[in-house]
Amino acid sequence: MIRYLVLYWTFFKQRIKVLMEYRVNFLIGASSTLFVQAASILSIWVVMRQVPTLNGWAMAEIWLVYGLLMLSKSINHMFADNLWTLGWDYVRTGNFDRLLVRPIDPLFHLLADRFCHDGIGHFVTGLILVVVSLVQLNVVVTPLKVIYMIITVVSGGAIFIALNLITGVSGFWVMDSTPVIRVVFEMHEFAKFPLSIYPKAISAVLTFLIPYGLASFYPASYVLGRDVPPTLALATPVVAALLVFISYRVWLFGLRHYSSTGS
């Protein structure tokens, strides 16, 4: 464990050095997500000014749902963005071979290979939204609530990563796994809003099948003292652990079928 933390730090430093080689690129990348997020938040703000509540949810409450999801997403974006590139950047080119002859777990190596600074923008947006929401709503922030939210966000990040890993493993077969990952990943757009506004089927999918809701709606409801089943509000870490386990099995299955390139 300590070895892998040291290694992550080593790879992280390498990555920062590479990023500094292309300074302009770095600044654009780190700030562009901030702008993209600002635009999407602005659009919600414009709509919400016209409709004061969305199925009983005020704008400030929606910010909490949105913000928590954004924080989880940022963890995936910063630490596991390389899963998107497995197919075309590693398998197709044969670069994946390099990871397989190093004395490191190949999945760890893949993730550690590229810390993605674009995720910093998501993290900052998410944090701002959560803070703004809690302040506006005068929520009494107890240490327990802070710990609860931190655990939720980390678990939510794990859910994002595990789902991307399950779909990203298709890169061992289809070369460009991006569309496959996207199908599942884009479902998180629904989870930016309270699940109660959706038809039952969609809300069920986002709770039990592709459980992004466990990283946004349920924990937000819990923090705000809204009426949700506590089991679901507390299930996030358990579901995350389960998904991580499943995704790692799927990864190992893909790894066994890796067939490298011609030469």
Partner 1 sequence: MSVIQTENLTKIFRVPQKDAGVRGAVKALFQPRYKDVTAVDGVTFSVEKGEVVGYIGLNGAGKSTTIKMLTGILVPSSGQVRVLGRDPHRERVANARQIGVVFGQRTQLWWDLALIESLNTIAKIYEMDPQRYDQLLEQFVDLLDLKDLLKVPVRNMSLGQKMRAELAATLIHEPEVVYLDEPTIGLDLIVKERMRAFIKQQNRETGTTVVLTTHDLGDIEELCQRVIIIDEGKLIYDGPLSAIKERFGKYRQITFEMARDLDGVDLPAGAEIVTQDGRSLVLRFDRTQTTASRVAAAVMEQFNVVDFSLAEPDLSMIVKQIYQGALHPEAV
The answer to whether 199 touches 67, Cβ cutoff 8 Å, is no
Please state, as a whole number, how many other Cβ atoms lie within 10 Å of the Cβ of residue 229. 12
State the nearest-atom distance from the C-beta of 51 to partner 1, in Å: 46
Q: Judging by beta carbons within 10 Å of its beta carbon (0-12, 13-18, 19+), is residue 226 exposed, middle or buried? A: middle
- The residue among 127 and 255 lying less far from partner 1, judged by its C-beta, is 255
Q: What x-and-dash track marks residues 240-259 binding partner 1 by CB under 8 A?
A: ----------------x-xx
Of 9-17, 148-156, 190-198, 208-216, which part binds partner 1 (CB under 8 A)?
A: 9-17
Q: Could you say whether residue 18 binds partner 1 (CB under 8 A)?
A: yes
Instruction: State residue 170 phi and psi, 5-degree precision.
Output: -55, -20
Instruction: Figure out which of the listed residues 1, 2, 5, 21 binds partner 1, where binding follows CB under 8 A.
Output: 21
- Angle separating helix axes 2-21 and 106-113, nearest 10 degrees: 30
Instruction: Figure out which of the listed residues 22, 35, 245, 253 binds partner 1, where binding follows CB under 8 A.
Output: 22
The full length of the chain comes to 263
- The residue among 108 and 148 lying less far from partner 1, judged by its C-beta, is 108
The answer to whether 214 touches 228, Cβ cutoff 8 Å, is no
Q: What x-and-dash track marks residues 80-109 binding partner 1 by CB under 8 A?
A: --------------xx-xx-xxxxxxx---
Residues 202-221 that bind partner 1 (CB under 8 A): none
State the nearest-atom distance from the C-beta of 214 to partner 1, in Å: 33
| Coarse DSSP helix, strand, coil percentages of the chain, rounded to the nearest 5 percent | 80, 0, 20
# residues near partner 1 by CB under 8 A: 27
- The residue among 38 and 100 lying less far from partner 1, judged by its C-beta, is 100
- The residue among 53 and 95 lying less far from partner 1, judged by its C-beta, is 95
- The residue among 19 and 153 lying less far from partner 1, judged by its C-beta, is 19
Question: Could you tell me where the beta strands, DSSP code E, fall in 4-154?
Answer: 53-54, 57-58
- C-alpha distances in angstroms, 222 versus 64, 122, 191, 229? 11, 23, 15, 9
- The residue among 6 and 204 lying less far from partner 1, judged by its C-beta, is 6
Of 6, 72, 29, which Cα lies nearest the Cα of 217?
A: 72
The answer to whether 185 touches 163, Cβ cutoff 8 Å, is yes
State the nearest-atom distance from the C-beta of 94 to partner 1, in Å: 6
Instruction: Figure out which of the listed residues 4, 10, 179, 204 binds partner 1, where binding follows CB under 8 A.
Output: 10
What CA dihedral angle connects 156, 158, 162 and 164, to 10 degrees? 70
State the nearest-atom distance from the C-beta of 29 to partner 1, in Å: 15
Binding site for partner 1 (CB under 8 A): 3, 6-7, 10-11, 14, 17-18, 21-22, 94-95, 97-98, 100-106, 256, 258-260, 262-263
